[in-house]
Structure 1
Amino acid sequence: MTSGVVNSGLLGSRFDSLASNTIDYWMLPDDDSMTMDRALEAVSAAPALPDASLQLYVHVPICAQNCTFCAFTGANSISYKMAERYADLVIWQLTDLIGRTQVSGHHIRSVHIGGGSPDLLGSHVGRVLEGIRGLPGCTDATEFSVEMTLSTTKPAFIEELVGHGVTKASFGVQTLDPELRAHMRQPTSLAHLPKVLDMIGGRIPIVNADLITCLPGQSLGLAMDDLQALIEHPDINAISSYLLTSGASPSLVGGLLSGALPPQAPPQDRALMRLNTYGTLLRAGWVRRGTNTYIDPVSVPADDLAKISGNECLGQSHHSDFLIGAGASAISSMPGVRLEQVSPIGQWMAAAERKEHPLWLSKCATVPQTDAALWVFPLRHEGLPQDRYDWMVANGALDDTQVRTLQDFCAEGLVRHTRQGYELTVVGEVFMGHLVRLLKKDANRRAVDDYITEGYALGNAIADGRLADQRIVNNRQAVDLHLGTGG
């Protein structure tokens, strides 16, 4: 580092560990007084500011796997018999929610269909894609990204993606090592990978493979071997490399505590896995286009690369944005509004059939997060533009602690400040989860911390036998029932 600041933590930073969680930063404190009318009125009142963008997310809570690391299995169904009806209902919900907003008819920047395993919609994914294509504001410039699971993807699903002009197909590889895959409750063989790539046949511009680093039993060498194999793969031109974060997955915590899973590598090796991942991708000439996603610009047409919004529809990039989510467990973020759908698919569908929005009201909020661009920017490949930072300061969106924290990160070499604005350094990228958390205001940071603490409490209950290691434990909407702390 050139900052002159000397720290004794990992990679010369202030941190002695990697982040415990990296997915739930848009959480806010629970509001037990929330009502349906108040939540939906806030949707209608959310202002369409000049720099507003519109993104859509569809969640498909159907999956045949129960991966140890996954935080999204809590209310997943293993039945896809309801796929056709579910597809119709998410289009109803998207259409209704968009129609309530002041950005109805605005250009739709991106669409992300995730899960779960959207491939288990089969050919019915075409109903979702066709419905979204028919929405006002959806154009040829709209990004369409769809996830799938290698072991359950069938040709009919791929043909629908190709026929509807999907921009990016994404699937989890996680690791090539059979033993590590077994620990994560994944098929030990990757025989489905070449089959799926053959189905795609080069007809989808961006083919993205997910990797996870810091898995139980994974060494630095194994992690780098996985990465190099995917970089060199002729049919893969995007890689999302995720940090395994135990705070989101009680099953993982339980397995590590009980000894059912082998230990993770020492903290220094885990930090090196992240540092070497980013360094290797940059040396290969790949460019960051997402929270943890890098794309090979040589093999992707410029027009398709330009479509990539780069946040995988995780949430707003700043307070003016509209991210509208449909489906069980889906989350929406709009100016001054956060909506969270109920998780169990049966409960969600029953309400949607009645044309009611199945909101988990206590997890919804009507709180402006005008500081969002500050704490989101470590997740964004383009960083924080100077004019957006200046606007937040001028409008009192940031408190003194947030301003000071950002400047400290610059002094420590975790963030780089240029005339254009603020961006992560490579070392800052290693610790991005910590940076996001520390740039939030106190109350909102506590909401994230409470979520992580809750995950560890559930993991401890699994480890000592008070809870069975089952999918339902990941349904945090039922956490009081899981831990026996409520009705």
Structure 2
Amino acid sequence: MDINGPRYTSYPTADRFHGRFGEADYLQALADCAAQPAPLSLYVHIPFCENICYYCGCNKIITRDHGRSGRYVDYLVREMRMVAGRLGARRAVVQSHWGGGTPTFLDAAEMRRVMDAMRAHFDLLPDGEHSIEIDPRRVGDAQMALLAGLGFNRISLGVQDFDAEVQQAIHRVQSQAETRAVVDAARRLGFRSVSMDLIYGLPHQTPARFAATVEQVLAMRPDRLSVYSYAHLPHVFKPQRRIDERALPAPAEKLDILVGTIAQLSAAGYVYIGMDHFALPGDALAAAQREGRLQRNFQGYSTHAGHDQLGFGVSSIGAVAGRYVQNARTLDDYYGALDRGALPVMRGLATSGEDRLRREVIGALMCNGVLDVAALEAREGIDFAAHFAVELAELATLAADGLVRIEPARIEVTPLGRLLVRRVAMVFDSYLRADAGRAAQAAAPARDADAGTPAHTPAHTPAEAPLRYSRVV
């Protein structure tokens, strides 16, 4: 089980996107979206950070030159105007999220410009979820008041770990006091939800040390918690080369940290939503799970994942009318496309009927822990056992390991399986299965060496493979 695997914030996953999908495909997706005027979700990517965190695998630009963000905002506003112009009437937005990078790298005037552009082109519903990622080291009371005034009602705080040795090892020193100050300000200002991010598997972490961090977090009582598994991929993310691999916890110890954290948070009254998400019983995520409405999108578990999502900014990803689309990864490419009057599409994917079927299966297992096979057969007009014969054979192995229970009319993820639910989901990923088949064929002796048969290659490059991936354990 100790392998890298997709987080399934989309299916197919982002490493399957390809460059043959271009601006014309996105424009057609926007036209199809315009024909179905349902509420939207928006994602805005702000790539700038003042300091580098060694563990980070996000698309970011490390700089202390705040002058760079002014130009970026100019282009961000231009992109919003171009996309909105393709949608016709001003569309309602039920969910928006600013991520990064560090979105609060922008100064007050720049943040107002971005929000003004969003409101000019879209109707941000006041009862929707409007969130922003915050670095507590860079935000004070004045900035928090600004965010509240702009209409944000949810914040997400990066914490990772409060242990001093761990913080030094990952180059992110952040005190409990400055974190609590932001949380207290959010409460005073009426933010509906405070979420915190932790990472386990970092250097020098042990079950006892991480439990101490969790205790400090619990004292602040965040509404939601994300406890992510660290994926050490120094060959892909250069900053990770500064992390001492010898200080990383062993896989068994890492699993102990996860199991201990689940027990600790459960004892404190949090609901284990799944994989790496926890929420208080009164939170919208917990309610969605109880009612069978929980879904996943590029921000993880969500109550609004069924809506088309528009992505703005460098490297952002959208999901529009059955297509995935990703923007250019570099500022030069992003600016260059917009200067030409083109949308900055780098790659994407048009999903097939089979993709959508498998996305439904994976989503049901990861979000609700149960797949109603009989209902799926009736809805999709398939014979599940025949359609997924290979998958059911592999799933039987996981059932023997206690991860799932298989019945004729349903598949249920066990409590143990919830810890490794991505491993269960991977069974239904036809792209991973195709990769494995190609790898096996390439490793086998050539049947006709004289024919010069070309070796099969994976559908993605090594640089793309880790996108949206982390350790299953």
1:165 partnered with 2:148: no
Q: CA deviation at 1:55?
A: 1.8
User: Of the candidates 246, 250, 261, which is equivalent to residue 237 of structure 2?
Assistant: 250
| Rounded Cα–Cα distance in structure 1 between residues aligned with 2:226 and 2:305 | 26
Which of 329, 349, 352 in structure 2 is aligned with 1:365? 349
Counterpart CA distance in 2 for 1:97 and 1:457 is 29
Report the Cα offset of residue 115 of structure 1.
0.5
Which 10-residue stretch deviates more, 137-146 or 70-79?
Answer: 70-79
CA shift in 2, pair 1:42/1:135, >3 Å: closer
Cα deviation, residue 53, structure 1: 6.5
What residue in structure 2 maps to residue 120 of structure 1?
105
Of residues 184-193 and 325-334 in structure 1, the stretch that sits farther from structure 2 once superposed is 184-193
Q: Identity over aligned residues, as a percent?
A: 20
Shift of 1:402: 4.1
Q: State the match for 2:194 in structure 1.
A: 207
Secondary structure at 1:139's aligned position in 2? strand
Match status 1:454 vs 2:465: no
Q: Is the 8 A contact 1:22 1:245 kept in 2?
A: no
Shift of 1:61: 0.3
Instruction: Name the CA distance, whole Å, in 1 between partners of 2:28 and 2:70.
Output: 30
Q: One-letter code of the match for 1:205?
A: R
Paired residues of 2:323 and 2:348 also in contact (CA < 8 A): yes
Matched, 1:61 2:47: yes
The answer as to 2:142 corresponding to 1:153 is no
Say which of 351, 358, 370 aligns to 2:337.
351
Residues 295/34 of structure 1: CA separation in 2 closer, same or farther (3 Å cut): closer
Taking the TM superposition and a 5 Å limit, the aligned residue runs for 1:393-408 are: 393-394=380-381, 399-402=388-391, 405=394
Tell me how far apart the structure 2 counterparts of residues 319 and 311 of structure 1 sit (CA, whole Å): 6
Q: Which residue of structure 1 aligns with residue 127 of structure 2?
A: 141
Q: Relative to 1, partners in 2 of residues 1:100 and 1:456: Cα closer, same or farther, differing over 3 Å?
A: closer
Do the aligned residues in 2 keep the contact of 1:416 with 1:425 (CA within 8 Å)? yes
Counterpart CA distance in 1 for 2:36 and 2:405 is: 29
Which residue is 2:25 aligned to? 38
What SS does the aligned partner of 1:262 have? helix
Query: Rg: which structure is higher?
Result: 2
Match of 2:209 in 1: 222
Please give the alpha-carbon distance, in whole angstroms, between the structure 2 residues aligned to 1:80 and 1:421. Answer: 54
Equivalences for 1:313-328 in 2 at 5 Å?
313-314=298-299, 321-328=307-314
Q: Which residue of 2 aligns with 1:195?
A: 181
**Cross-structure match for 2:86:** 100
- Give the match for residue 403 of structure 2: 414
Map of 1:334 onto structure 2 = 320
The aligned counterpart of 1:81 is 67
Counterpart of 2:427 (choices 416, 419, 438) is 438
Distance 1:330 1:181, change over 3 A: same
2:14 aligns with: 27
- 1:434 is matched by which residue type in structure 2? R
Among candidates 279, 284, 288, match of residue 295 of structure 1? 279
Number of residue equivalences: 433
Give the Cα separation in 1 of the matches to 2:129 and 2:334.
Answer: 27
Equivalent position SS for 1:357:
coil
Q: Given the alignment, which residue of 251, 254, 257 partners 1:267?
A: 251
Q: Quote how far apart the aligned CAs of 1:418 are.
A: 9.7
Q: Distance in 1 between matches of 2:410 and 2:39?
A: 20
Q: CA deviation at 1:207?
A: 1.3
Task: Write the distance in 1 (CA, Å) between the matches of 2:203 and 2:228.
Answer: 14
CA drift of 1:120 comes to 0.8
- Superposition deviation, residue 84 in structure 1: 4.3
Pairwise CA distance, 1:455? 5.4
Change in 2 beyond 3 A, CA 1:439/1:57: same
Structure 2 vs 1, CA of residues 69 and 271 (structure 1 numbering), >3 Å: closer, same or farther?
Answer: same
Q: Distance in 1 between matches of 2:102 and 2:363?
A: 27
Shift of 1:305: 7.2
Please list the CA deviations of residues 266-312 of structure 1 after superposition, one character each: whole Å capped at 9, or x if unmatched: 222211222222232223221345763322235x6x79977997646
Does structure 1 retain, via aligned residues, the 8 Å contact 2:426–2:432?
Answer: no
- Aligned ranges for residues 382-397 of structure 1 at < 5 Å? 389-390=376-377, 393-394=380-381
Q: How far off is 1:107 after superposition?
A: 4.5
Q: Is the Cα–Cα contact under 8 Å of residues 314 and 331 in structure 2 kept in the other structure? A: yes
Question: Which of these residues, 354, 358, 362, is aligned with residue 375 of structure 1?
Answer: 362
Amino acid at match of 1:373: E
Change (3 A) 1:143 1:408: farther
Structure 1: how far apart are the matches of 2:333 and 2:360? 34
Structure 2 segments unaligned to the other structure (5+ residues): 440-457, 468-473
CA drift of 1:158 comes to 1.5
Bigger share in strand: 2
Q: 2:87 and 2:397 mapped to 1: Cα distance?
A: 39
Pairing 1:428–2:436 present: no
CA RMSD of aligned residues (A): 4.2
Larger deviation: 276-285 or 389-398? 389-398
Find the aligned partners of 2:344 and 2:216 in 1 and give their Cα distance: 43
Retained in 1: the 8 A contact 2:51–2:63?
no
Distance 1:405 1:112, change over 3 A: farther
2:470 corresponds to: none
Evaluate the alpha carbon distance shift between residue 31 and residue 279 of structure 1 in structure 2; reply closer, same or farther with a 3 A threshold. Answer: same
Residues 229-240 of structure 1: pairs in structure 2 closer than 5 A: 229-234=216-221, 236-240=222-226
